[in-house]
Structure 1
Amino acid sequence: MHAKSTFTVADYTPTENPGQVGDLPMIDTAASAGLAYLTKTFTGELSGRSVTWFLGALNQQTGAGSYVALEAISGEICGRSGTFNVVHGASTHGADRTDEHFRIVPDSGTGELVGISGTGTLSIDPDGTHHFDLDYRLPD
């Protein structure tokens, strides 16, 4: 089954760099790392909202970087409601998107989405519209 949606980011809240973790100071690289929390609203065949934990590293000079994210989604997919998690990430050299991965976290579904599994993609149109396409399976 396939569900297509668009989404908007309602909140993007970076966290403060702690300066050190345990006894070790943070390690500086050419691509500085950061953690942020996002909230999203989905419309389309997937409708609802999500909270996302976003970890990224970006070289400010070249625009190259990578991110990984864990997202908790609450909503309705084609008439079935519940919650589930997805994990996704990608890399970039500036304007491209490479090494993308996107998967529903196993056994994360609740409500009418218990047993959901699958993969997906995220894309952004030149006008800034964000798309969320999900290829999923649900038990009979």
Structure 2
Amino acid sequence: MIMFKKTLAAMFILIVGNELAAANDMVQTRSGEPSMQSIKGSFEVSMLPQQDNEFSVGRMTLDKQYQGPMDGNSKGQMLSFMSGVKGSAGYVAIEVFTGKIANKQGSVALQHFGRMDKGAQALTISIIPDSGTDQLTGISGSMEIEIVDGKHLYNLNYLIK
């Protein structure tokens, strides 16, 4: 019963999120400039380790499927390093998303910078400037990722000028 309620709640959030994202697409500030928008949804990711004999770092390819107001696929690569101290590591990644963001079609590149310092985590994901194409030209912003009960969730904060 609890799982059913969580599934129902997640479906409600995704449906309402889609409707709000479409409505929010038209929001402007009093000066007539578009304002920062925020959309939420989920994604699935598969990571495939790559062989790298030159360096003592981990390297993986990324393949993501985004659902919700950000609807499409993303491909990328990640480099990571784990130190000898438990809970200390870092990673960088670039992914290129192709699909729709709040019903606007195009591609955009995201840059990840993550680190752990003895278990304390920090993650920054930014939209790479001038990487938007088609209806996403002029997009800027950032993304937050949260993992809840094994499910990957995103919160994309963006502005299209």
TM-score normalised to structure 2 length: 0.71
1:64: Cα distance to partner? 2.2
> Greater Rg, structure 1 or structure 2?
2
Determine the C-alpha separation between the residues in 1 that align with 2:156 and 2:118.
25
Q: Does 1:107 align with 2:153?
A: no
Point out which structure has higher relative CO (alpha carbons under 8 A, 6+ apart).
1
Identity %: 30
Residue 61 of structure 1 and its aligned partner are, at CA, apart by 6.6
Q: Deviations over 1:93-134 (max 9, x none)?
A: 475422x21110011111110111111211211x11111211
**Which residue, 52, 61, 74 being the options, matches 1:17?**
52
Structure with a larger share of its residues in helix: 2
> 1:63 Cα shift?
3.4
The 1-side partners of 2:129 and 2:41 are apart by 21
- Cα gap change, 1:94 to 1:124, in 2 (>3 Å): farther
- Structure having the higher strand fraction is 1
Aligned partner of 1:122 among 137, 141, 145: 145
How many pairs were matched up? 125
Aligned to 2:94, which of 33, 54, 70? 70
The gaps in structure 2 that reach 5 residues or longer are 1-36
Partner of 2:112: 88
Q: Residue 112 of structure 1: SS of its match in structure 2?
A: helix
Report the alpha carbon displacement of residue 76 of structure 1 after superposing the two structures with TM: 0.6
The match for 1:5 among 41, 46, 55 is 41
Counterpart code for 1:7: F
Counterpart Cα distance in 2 of 1:94 and 1:52: 27
- Between the aligned partners of 1:94 and 1:83, the Cα distance in structure 2 is 36
Does 2:81 match 1:38? no
Q: Which runs of 5+ in 1 are unaligned?
A: 21-25, 27-31
